[in-house]
Amino acid sequence: MSEARTAAPPRKFNFDSDFEGANPKLAPPYNRLYTSEEAEALVARARAEGDAAAMQRIEAQTARALAEIAEVARATLPTLAAAAHHHREGAAELALACARQIADAACELFPQAPLQAALAALAREVEATPKLTLRAPPALLERLRAAFAETAEAIGYPGQIVARADAGLAPGAFAFDWGDGAATFDPAAAAARVAEALEGALAAEGLHAEALPSPNSAHEDRHG
């Protein structure tokens, strides 16, 4: 007895273009053809977009680099300020040492110059004084007395001048008084006062130096 064959169910019509195989063949894709002008325009647009993207990357990298440089600069400002202050101190000390050498040589060659300058500056103070008393180191007494008398005559002082030796005065020092006042000069003491004033000025500059403005201050001023 032969087996009964089962009939296959009918296939639905699905509007395929190929009725023979199991997989229908699709129509080939549509390929558009561009004119030369359109192709050039597409190339130019792609190039412009690429350039714009590259510029954005470069600008971002530049901004990051500038921010890093600014941060490093801010971090090094205290060190730079300290180095500059130390340099100023060294320069001031060197200048002061040179000035002392020059002043010592000048006082040795022209010991009468400070005395004459002091008497000329005090001319109005001593013009009515009957007597001026000069004290000077014994080695310089005669030289200073002559310079003192010469300057007194130049300013029109009519009173008496008395010169006395004072072994307690340092070389180059002198003192004179006119009853109502006195004037003294000591090269070593003068140098010490100059050094003290210079040290005070440097210390004040180190404590109260103005801070450098931050990079954002100018931006805040423009948009504040």
Model pLDDT, residue 215: 43
Both structure tokens of 51: 């350039």
Residue 6: pLDDT over 60: no
Predicted confidence (pLDDT) per residue in 51-71, tens digit: 888 899 999 999 999 998 888
Of 116, 125, 114, nearest in space to 187 by CA: 114
Question: Among the residues of the chain, which ranges form H helices?
Answer: 36-109, 112-121, 123-126, 141-154, 187-208, 215-223
Predicted confidence (pLDDT) per residue in 124-149, tens digit: 888 888 999 999 999 989 999 999 99
Q: Where are the domains of the chain?
A: 38-104, 111-205
Task: Determine contact, residues 24/16, Cβ cutoff 8 Å.
Answer: yes
Model pLDDT, residue 18: 54
Q: Tell me what the mean pLDDT of segment 100-112 comes to.
A: 81
Model pLDDT, residue 158: 87
φ and ψ at 14, to 5 degrees? Answer: -120, 20
Residue 82: pLDDT over 90: no
First to last CA, the chain: 106
Predicted confidence (pLDDT) per residue in 159-201, tens digit: 899 999 999 998 889 999 998 899 899 888 888 888 888 888 8
In this prediction, what percent of the chain has a pLDDT beyond 70?
77
- pTM for the predicted model, two decimal places: 0.49
Model pLDDT, residue 136: 92
Both structure tokens of 16: 């395929």
Q: Is 173 exposed, middle or buried (0-12, 13-18, 19+ CB in 10 A)?
A: buried
Cα→Cα distances 183→74, 100, 150, Å = 53, 22, 18
Of 164, 167, 171, 198, nearest in space to 185 by CA: 171
Say what the alpha-carbon torsion angle 138, 142, 147, 151 is, to the nearest 10 degrees. 100
